[in-house]
Structures are given as C-alpha cells and as structure tokens.
Structure 1
C-alpha cells in the first residue's frame, strides 16, 4: 500500500521552483505565518476514504519532525491546514469526524477533561462546507488553537490539552488516516 501511495503521490504531487507542493490540485505553500511567527511546511498528504479524496492536509511547524507524538505534545507554534477537495465533505460529516477523531486520539479521561472545548470546536463548523474551502487550525503557545475558514477567523480555544487532543487526530497513535499522517510527517 505504501509503495502504491508513493507512486500516486509522485504522479499527483510535484515541487515547483519556489518549494510549493501540489497535491490533488491543491497548492501547499512551503511557509505559513501564524500570529507573526513563520512556520515551515513539515509535510502534506491526502485524506482518502473509500474512493473519495476528501481533503489535502498540511502540517506547518517551527522545527521539522517525523515524530507525531513529539509534535502532539509540543508547546510550540504549529498549524494544520485542510483544503476540501470533494463535495462529499459536508458540515455534518465534518462534525461527526471530529467527534470520532477525538475519541481515537484521547483516553476517556482526557476527553472528559476537554469536552467543553471539543463542543466549542465543533460549533465552529456552523456554516456549510463546500469543495474548495480552506481551514487553518493553528496552535500558538499562550494563546491557544486559532481556527479560520477561508482566511476568516472563527475563534480560539485555549489550552495545551485541547491542542494535544486535536492534533492527535492527525498525528497521534490512532490517526484518522495513516497515509495522511505519514505525508504530514514527511515519512
């Protein structure tokens, strides 16, 4: 499976002279600035389910790493971007996926401790989600997790515990998509 994914990524993703990466028609920038801090692309990949290419996910960090657990636990600025590539991704499916993701990335005790933050995060998906939407989920130490959709700020959720649970959805021991995790970790 990994060889097949690498072959597909070689066909779909190319680096341009500026260091950008293109995956499934989405251009992933090599840098992102969050709260005045420049972050560097750690890696990117495609979230697939069955035969649907749901979104392109990219991870931006201050210090590159291929260790998902280290990044999940780090109290450092980082961001994940999600570019929706299929109309099958809807507001309701996103909410459900986030719920399931927290269930996989947190223990029952951890989840209970941040349940109000999870509910607040899920409320950020109050508007319709359509193909082409761009989400930015950025953690800034001392501020929290800042969320925007199509460059429009939605809200901030405080706490490193919440960030750990959220980023664990993609980078933890039981990620939403193992191939996407490998892409984000540049493995």
Structure 2
C-alpha cells in the first residue's frame, strides 16, 4: 500500500511558488491581449451626469437619441435625455414613432413639489393648443397630483417619464413609480405624452435643448 505523501515545508513552498508563476503567466498573457480586446463604448457625460447608451423600458431596449441641458432662467435645472427604439433627428420623426419612449431628467438643483407642479402646468399649457389643454384638463390634474407626492427633488435625483404601449405614461422618481391616492399613476393617453414631448423638442422648446435631444449636437463622452 502506497504511503500518503507528506507535505514538507519545502514542498509547500514549491507548490505556492508554482501557483504564483502560473498566475503571473496568465496575467501577463491577459495584459498582452488587452490592446486587441473590444473596448467598452464610452458613456456620454454632460454636466457631470453620465448617461447610459441604452436602457430597458417595459422589456424593450431603447437607445440614447440625444441629450441637453434644460434651464430655468439663469439656472441649469436638469440634464434631459431622450431614449427611443431607433434614432430620429426631427421632432416629426419622433412623434410618428409607434412604440416605447423615455424622457429622463437628471436633476441639477433642488425643486419643491409645488414648483415642479407649477412649472409642468405652465410648460404643458404652452406646448398644447387651447382645445387640447381643455380636453386634457383631467389628465393634467392627475399628473399634477402625482408630482405633488414628490416632496422635493435634489441634485442627483433621476426622474424617468416613460411611454409604454398598452399601459400609458408612467413616471418614476429614483426608480419608484409615482402614485395618485395610492394607485400607480399610469395615464393611458398618448396625446398627453405627445404634448409632453413637444415641451422638449417642439417648436417652442429652447433651440439648444431641442437640438441636443434630436442628436444634432455632438455630446461629450467620458475621457474626451
């Protein structure tokens, strides 16, 4: 019967040394292959906010169409990003898309719920016709109520406003869905979302913001 091998201090040192050499060789090989590895695509960075190249909304992949800085007077309010199923460079092209969409607001300064609601109603009214505004008054009230449940937003917060076919317009604050009277604030009214898009890429939207969201402005990338 063969006697079991007894590991002496010397043999243990040799085993450790052999293992270290193997790790060194593997590490050197990986480093040598690194220049030929496929690099990860650089993320878009705007005002210190890093934007993902793609997101998933309702199980569908959307790609970053463009981004821009939205201002309120002299202040930078947020970095707005537009995600679509495919790239579009005109407002008409975006409006005609039949499918999932996301407007993402990366907050740059603090706003209270009352200020958020007031700004939303003013911007929505400006983007809508008088007839559309009257037609959607109940929807506008519902959206305002959802916003009022957010006591405040601060720098670093993320607000996603998604359109999901069959479910409607849904808003999320830092990943948590906004609610109205305890129920999910899902508003199945595409006209309301179309008007919301006009606030950012319509004729009355600031030109620099509109061009950024339509991908007409080159965006800085991490490391540029």
Indicate the residue corresponding to 1:31 in structure 2.
54
Rg: which structure is higher?
A: 2
Please, which of 169, 175, 180 is the counterpart of residue 209 of structure 2?
A: 180
Distance 1:90 1:62, change over 3 A: same
| Secondary structure of 1:156 counterpart | coil
Indicate the residue corresponding to 1:94 in structure 2.
116
Displacement, 1:109? 0.4
Displacement, 1:49? 3.0
Displacement, 1:17? 4.5
Indicate the residue corresponding to 1:79 in structure 2.
102
How many residues are treated as equivalent by the alignment?
A: 170
Q: Deviation digits for residues 72-115 of structure 1, max 9, x if unmatched?
A: 3433211000011112x332222111111111211000111111
Q: Deviation digits for residues 41-97 of structure 1, max 9, x if unmatched?
A: 00011112333111000000001101113313433211000011112x332222111
The CA RMSD measured in Å over matched residues stands at 1.6
Stretches of 4+ aligned residues off by more than 6 angstroms: none
Please, which of 195, 205, 209 is the counterpart of residue 165 of structure 1?
A: 195
| Secondary structure of 1:157 counterpart | coil
| Secondary structure of 1:125 counterpart | helix
TM-score (norm 2): 0.71
Report the Cα distance in structure 1 between the residues aligned to 2:192 and 2:97, rounded to whole angstroms: 12
Indicate the residue corresponding to 1:132 in structure 2.
156
TM-score (norm 1): 0.85
Distance 1:122 1:72, change over 3 A: farther
Indicate the residue corresponding to 1:57 in structure 2.
80
Report the Cα distance in structure 2 between the residues aligned to 1:75 and 1:63, rounded to whole angstroms: 11
Determine which structure has the larger strand proportion and give its number: 1
Asked if the contact 1:19/1:29 (under 8 Å) is kept, the reply is no
| Secondary structure of 2:89 counterpart | coil
Distance 1:58 1:102, change over 3 A: same
